[in-house]
Amino acid sequence: MGPTTIFMLLRFRFANFRSFRDEQEFSMIAGSGAELASVVIPVTNIETGVLPASVFYGANASGKSNVLRALQFMRTAVLRSHAAWGPDDEIPSEPFVSTTAEPATFVVDFVDRSIRYQYGFSLTKQSVVREWLHAYPKSKRQTWFERNGNKPMTLRIPMMSITHSDAMAITKWSLTTQAFSL
């Protein structure tokens, strides 16, 4: 079976959210053990492949729900922040109790159409501190966009590597997000 081209989550990392101060990582990337070889999904440029499923387990009150809440917060930020978060409103982040002034960080690594991407952002209750999208075509990192604080966003998308419909979607996204913070 050759490498897959479907959309797949590889990793999710977050820090300074709810009960977690330090960075936590949820990974779907398989280990190097041969015992899982029959179920591992091959993915371009991921040597060990990706697991088809995963389970959270642990004692009561150990943070399992907060890992899922962190992923949900990132999803909501990406999909709804432009409509739900006003430009002067407080960002509804839930930082770890003793680190409320430090940014919370959310990062997702995924594969789409055989290309690995990393999208992430750091934010406080007042603003988005940093946001980025990296692509790894042919395993070499390209910064497709980056935003630091209130500085204008820098776009560096190599147009030859994306389709016309992708370019239109990026243009539409760029126009709708320029007026709003993350």
Residue 25's domain comprises 8-177
Number of domains into which the chain is organized: 1
Please give the pLDDT value at position 1: 46
- Could you give the 3-state DSSP secondary structure of residue 113? coil
Burial class for 47, CB neighbours closer than 10 Å (0-12, 13-18, 19+): exposed
Domain with 128 in it: what CATH number?
3.40.50.300
Q: Report pTM.
A: 0.79
- Per-residue model confidence as pLDDT tens digits over 12-38: 999 999 999 999 999 999 887 766 778
Distance CA 17, CA 63 (A): 11
CA dist 64 to 70, 105, 125, Å? Answer: 10, 18, 23
Please give the pLDDT value at position 165: 61
* 91 neighbors 123 (Cβ within 8 angstroms): yes
How long, in residues, is the chain? 182
Q: Please check whether residue 149 lies inside any domain of the structure.
A: yes
Q: Please check whether residue 68 lies inside any domain of the structure.
A: yes
Copy the structure tokens of residue 30.
């398989």
- Per-residue model confidence as pLDDT tens digits over 32-90: 776 677 888 888 778 888 888 888 888 888 888 999 999 999 999 998 887 888 878 88
Secondary structure element (H or E) that encloses residue 144, with its range: strand 142-148
Q: Please check whether residue 57 lies inside any domain of the structure.
A: yes
Q: Please check whether residue 70 lies inside any domain of the structure.
A: yes
Please give the pLDDT value at position 178: 41
The number of beta carbons lying within 10 Å of the beta carbon of residue 14 is 24
The letter for the amino acid at 119 is Y
- Per-residue model confidence as pLDDT tens digits over 86-135: 878 888 888 888 777 899 999 999 988 888 999 999 999 988 899 999 99
pLDDT at 168 over 80: no
Q: Please check whether residue 2 lies inside any domain of the structure.
A: no
Q: Please check whether residue 182 lies inside any domain of the structure.
A: no
Q: Please check whether residue 41 lies inside any domain of the structure.
A: yes
Q: How many CA atoms lie within 13 A of 108 on its CB side?
A: 16
Please give the pLDDT value at position 154: 76
